[in-house]
């Protein structure tokens, strides 16, 4: 039986990972971690019987301990607990389904311990891709993308030289271009002026995907696509200039790779995160998966557009952050994390999110090749500033 641990088991990706585990019946979950939803955690503990569970909130961890006193499960809390879950000795693979750069230290710890990573938590690669990818190579572990676009690219690269050993694959010289698809979010086609009054409830309605709150807002601002360009650069070892964002509003094409002979390979499917999750859990095996299939007759046609960089600063600023490099992507990411939080709390306007990112980036002096400590220090600086 394959043994896995999950960071962020109560969220959108975490619960869908457990659905995949339940449907297949041959994966053992050895450890779980989540923020504060202990009623769902208790249900997950009773069903999946992990040995170790971390709740970020210390008081909630104490409460969970009382509710599960009849079970053989160790409950821990805080960053120490997250790292303990990442290092759970029996697990071979860590699913990083936690949201935000809080996932950085546990992910690095798991790689150092030789565990494969099913990576949903893109914020870790955005801020520390320059440390994580070489470490993954040194430790000979796999980083298996869960993000649908990156899973699509990974699937298109199968059969290429080196693609089954470890990501980044050695096939980058065969890649001419990565065509990263984007839905454009709920506000595609609007001018900036029309976005002034957008409220959280409007921005939380994604046209094609059902996801956690933070990534849904990131999709509405196009910051998500910016983070994904950075994620793709690290995962597939390509230059940012070789990544083209293609808006395809129905989210049917999950991404494409254009090879040096002009051939374009694409992965298509209905928008269902269980496919990339299952592909990462069982890679290189492709298991059967129930669910809706594409109906091309119903679909009729697909439209393609260039991303609107004039009205959506999220993507424009991402390219700037990549270009500056070093600690700048961390500033882009950390300023965004806090701004999204403030927007959801009603303390910041929708356009204020990217304005905050831009202001933080303008004030920042880049640290080249930042260490983990410098990345975390940069995060504190960006948050303190806001």
* Site residues (vs ligand NAD, CB under 6 A): 8-14, 33-35, 37, 56, 82, 97-99, 102, 120-123, 147, 209, 211-215, 273
Q: Which of residues 88, 123, 147, 313 is near Mg ion by CB under 5 A?
A: 147
Residue 212 interface partner, choices Mg ion, ligand NAD, none, CB cut-off 5-8 Å depending on type: ligand NAD
Smallest distance, ligand NAD to C-beta of residue 229, A: 14
Q: ∠176-181-183 over CA atoms, to 5°?
A: 165
Q: Which residue is nearest to Mg ion (CB)?
A: 147
Q: CB-wise, 32 or 156, nearer to ligand NAD?
A: 32
Contact 252, 268 (CB under 8 A): yes
Tokens for 62?
């104490």
Task: With CA atoms as reference, report the closest residue to 333 among 102, 153, 143.
Answer: 102
Could you give the CA distance from residue 365 to residue 348 in angstroms, rounded to a whole number? 25
Smallest distance, ligand NAD to C-beta of residue 216, A: 8
Smallest distance, Mg ion to C-beta of residue 93, A: 20
Alpha helix stretches (DSSP H) within 250-371: 274-282, 296-299, 313-324, 328-344, 350-363
Q: CB-wise, 147 or 313, nearer to Mg ion?
A: 147
Q: Give the strand pairing for 93-96 and 2-7.
A: parallel
Q: CB-wise, 24 or 37, nearer to ligand NAD?
A: 37
Smallest distance, ligand NAD to C-beta of residue 204, A: 12
- Using rule CB under 5 A, residue 218 touches Mg ion: no
- Select the span of 148-156, 158-166, 194-202, 292-300 touching Mg ion (CB under 5 A): 148-156
Alpha helix stretches (DSSP H) within the chain: 12-24, 38-48, 58-67, 78-86, 104-112, 122-138, 148-156, 200-203, 213-221, 223-236, 274-282, 296-299, 313-324, 328-344, 350-363, 372-385
Q: Which residue is nearest to ligand NAD (CB)?
A: 11
Chain position carrying tokens 């200039």: 241
The strands making up 175-182's β-sheet, listed across from edge to edge, are: 243-247, 175-182, 253-259, 264-268
Smallest distance, ligand NAD to C-beta of residue 109, A: 14
Smallest distance, ligand NAD to C-beta of residue 119, A: 9
Residue 160 interface partner, choices Mg ion, ligand NAD, none, CB cut-off 5-8 Å depending on type: none
Could you give the CA distance from residue 312 to residue 188 in angstroms, rounded to a whole number? 9
Smallest distance, ligand NAD to C-beta of residue 40, A: 8
Could you give the CA distance from residue 228 to residue 148 in angstroms, rounded to a whole number? 10
Residue 137 interface partner, choices Mg ion, ligand NAD, none, CB cut-off 5-8 Å depending on type: none
Residue 76 interface partner, choices Mg ion, ligand NAD, none, CB cut-off 5-8 Å depending on type: none
Contacts for 29 with CB less than 8 Å, ≥ 6 apart:
3, 4, 5, 6, 18, 21, 48, 49, 50
Q: CB-wise, 103 or 171, nearer to ligand NAD?
A: 103
Residues that bind Mg ion (CB under 5 A): 147-149
């Amino acid at each position: 039986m394959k043994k896995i641990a999950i960071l962020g088991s109560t969220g959108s990706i975490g619960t869908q990972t457990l659905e995949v585990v339940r449907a297949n019946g041959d994966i053992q979950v050895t450890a779980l971690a989540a923020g504060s939803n202990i009623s769902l955690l208790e249900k997950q503990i009773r069903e999946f019987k992990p040995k170790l569970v971390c709740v970020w909130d210390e008081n909630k961890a104490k409460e969970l301990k009382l509710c599960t006193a009849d079970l053989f499960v160790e409950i821990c809390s805080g960053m120490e607990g997250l790292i303990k879950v990442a290092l759970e000795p029996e697990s071979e693979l860590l699913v990083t389904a936690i949201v935000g750069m809080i996932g950085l230290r546990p992910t690095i710890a798991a790689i150092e311990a030789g565990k494969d990573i099913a990576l949903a938590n893109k914020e870790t690669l955005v801020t520390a891709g320059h440390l994580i990818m070489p470490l993954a190579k040194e430790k000979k572990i796999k980083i298996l993308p869960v993000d649908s676009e990156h899973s699509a690219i990974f699937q298109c690269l199968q059969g290429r030289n080196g693609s089954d050993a470890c990501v980044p694959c050695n096939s980058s010289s065969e890649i001419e271009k990565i065509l990263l698809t984007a839905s454009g979010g709920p506000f595609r086609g609007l001018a900036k002026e029309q976005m002034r009054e957008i409220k959280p409830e409007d921005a939380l309605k994604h046209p094609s995907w059902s996801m956690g709150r933070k990534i849904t807002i990131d999709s509405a601002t196009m910051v998500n696509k910016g983070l994904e360009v950075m994620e793709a650069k690290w995962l597939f070892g390509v230059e940012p200039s070789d990544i083209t964002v293609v808006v395809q509003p129905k989210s049917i094409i999950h991404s494409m790779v254009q090879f040096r002979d002009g051939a374009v390979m694409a992965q298509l499917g209905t928008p269902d995160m269980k496919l990339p999750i299952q592909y990462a859990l069982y890679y290189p095996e492709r298991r059967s998966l129930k669910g809706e299939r594409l109906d091309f007759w119903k679909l009729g046609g697909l439209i393609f557009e260039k991303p609107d960089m004039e009205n959506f600063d999220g993507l424009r600023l991402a390219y700037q952050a990549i270009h500056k490099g070093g600690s700048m992507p961390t500033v882009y990411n950390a300023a965004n994390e806090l701004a999204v939080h403030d927007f959801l709390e009603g303390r910041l306007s929708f356009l204020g999110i990217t304005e905050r990112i831009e202001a933080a980036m303008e004030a920042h002096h880049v640290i080249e090749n930042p260490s983990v400590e410098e990345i975390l220090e940069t995060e504190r600086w960006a948050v303190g500033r806001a």
